[in-house]
Amino acid sequence: MSAWRPWSGDPSSPRRGYGLWHQWWWVVVLGVAVGSGNPWMSAEACPSSCSCSSTRISCVDPERGISALPVLQSEAEMENITDIYIANQSSFSSINDKDLHYYKNLRNLTVTNSRLTYVSKLAFQNNIKLQYLNLKDNNLSSLSWRIFKRLNISYLILSGNPLHCSCENMWIKLWLGEEADTQELYCIEDGGGRKLLSRLTLPNCEVPMATLSPPKVTAMEGDNLALSCTTFGVPSPDLIWKMFLVTSYEIVTSGQVSVLRLSNLSSLDHNSKISCIAENIVGEKESSLLLDIHFPPKIIKLSDAIPDHHWCIPFSVSGNPEPNLQWYLNDKPVMEGVYISTMIHDITEREYHGCLQLDSPTHINNGRYKLVATNKYGSDQKEVEAHFMQRPLDETEKEPSYYVLHQQRVPLQTHLRTELLCMWWWELLL
């Protein structure tokens, strides 16, 4: 099957997603039970002319036919269905907007040797898991590519339908490629003649183009910016901008050219995607760019030290270009090395999350930690107190305890290990 897709867009590009960093704190274990599909449901839950298992509905009885998609008693039952098989149903003619609404986990849909004539553009809007669609031997004269816009279909079987040799069906030829011949797909010309779909050529019937200019943008926070998008193609395409921006903007479109004016660029939009899409009856093409917005550093978070495998003083910093990070302990620069080093654990669209990592720190590491983040546009700084261990008893009378760890929830073994290390260290010193 051809890799080309008329719906070449990417509707689900993650933005400002939760990175690995966030999973540090939350571990969610999802247990997914997979049903065997064997136990057959009670008769009243299943439409009388069909047979049902917990994952499959099959309606093949030509005598007691169905005219619409079967509906089970409860939403929960429908959610468990992965497979619907309909065959030999002479009254079955359409799949409408809501018919499959509750079959969220549907993977496999077969409607064959029936009278299917119409499939709504929204028919599968709730069935994003649909992979296999077999509509062989029906009465479809056309099928819009928009039906499949948000789906990731692997198999589409359409042979045995009176498809017209029309521009609306051109995407099927483009998408199936050689598979169209394997399925022996024909289309029917105006005069009634049959033609191999793979041979279909039509004037003025092409996938449109979209061109964004400039193709790359680097700007400064606060700047104003104008992007223009030009579309080409016949039939003449619709032009659609797609973006989620904090920066305010206006769009001025005239004919096949549209201008997007952004004013006072927000650094929050750094690495945001802006897309311009040209869409017509044959398919769509997208042209997109990522905003590269320069801005001075900002320390978003600097928190108390936490004991993990190593000790960590967690921080989150933003800035573009990437800020240079320098630590100070009681105003003296921290020399990073094997035992103390800055580790970046996660980089999101505009933030760097990490730790000042300390390997077995002792009381000499206690104190006021200052982080200074700098790039060519400026700098930011924040401070946090860290107490890894108290000074020895003779130096401080106030605290009776031998050591105090700053954080709760330290496993006992860590306490002991740290304590032993510390005693060993003092012995060396004395």
Least separation, in Å, of the C-beta of 115 and ligand NAG?
Answer: 4
Exposure pattern of 87-115 as b/e (b: 16+ CB <10 Å)? bebeebeebeeebbbbbebbbbbbbbbbb
**Total chain residues near ligand NAG (CB under 6 A):** 25
Query: Which residues 306-325 are close enough to bind ligand NAG by CB under 6 A?
Result: none
CB of 119 to ligand NAG, least distance (A): 12
| Near ligand NAG by CB under 6 A: residue from 230, 266, 360, 362 | 266
Draw the binding track, 231-260, toward ligand NAG (x: CB under 6 A; -: no contact): ------------------------------
Nearer to ligand NAG, 27 or 76 (CB): 76
Q: Which is nearer to ligand NAG, 30 or 76 (CB)?
A: 76
- Between 217 and 384, name the residue whose CB sits nearer to ligand NAG: 217
154 is an interface residue for ligand NAG by CB under 6 A: yes
Contact status, residue 197 vs residue 172, Cβ threshold 8 Å: yes
- Which range touches ligand NAG (CB under 6 A), out of 108-116, 278-286, 316-324, 357-365? 108-116
Q: Applying CB under 6 A, which of residues 152, 213, 218, 396 lies at the interface with ligand NAG? A: 152
Q: Which residues, 203 to 232, sit near ligand NAG by CB under 6 A? A: 222
Closer residue to ligand NAG in complex, CB, 112/198 = 112
Q: Which stretch binds ligand NAG (CB under 6 A): 73-81, 96-104, 270-278, 376-384?
A: 73-81
Of residues 20-49, which lie at the interface with ligand NAG (CB under 6 A)?
33, 35
Indicate the residue among 88 and 375 with the shorter CB distance to ligand NAG. Answer: 88
Taking the C-alpha atoms of residue 325 and residue 133, their distance in angstroms, rounded to an integer, is: 54
Question: Please, which of residues 341-380 interact with ligand NAG by CB under 6 A?
Answer: none
In the complex, least distance from residue 6 CB atom to ligand NAG, rounded to whole angstroms: 15
Residues at the interface with ligand NAG (CB under 6 A)? 33, 35, 54, 60, 76-77, 80, 83, 87-88, 93, 107-108, 113, 115, 117, 131-132, 139, 141, 152, 154, 222, 264, 266
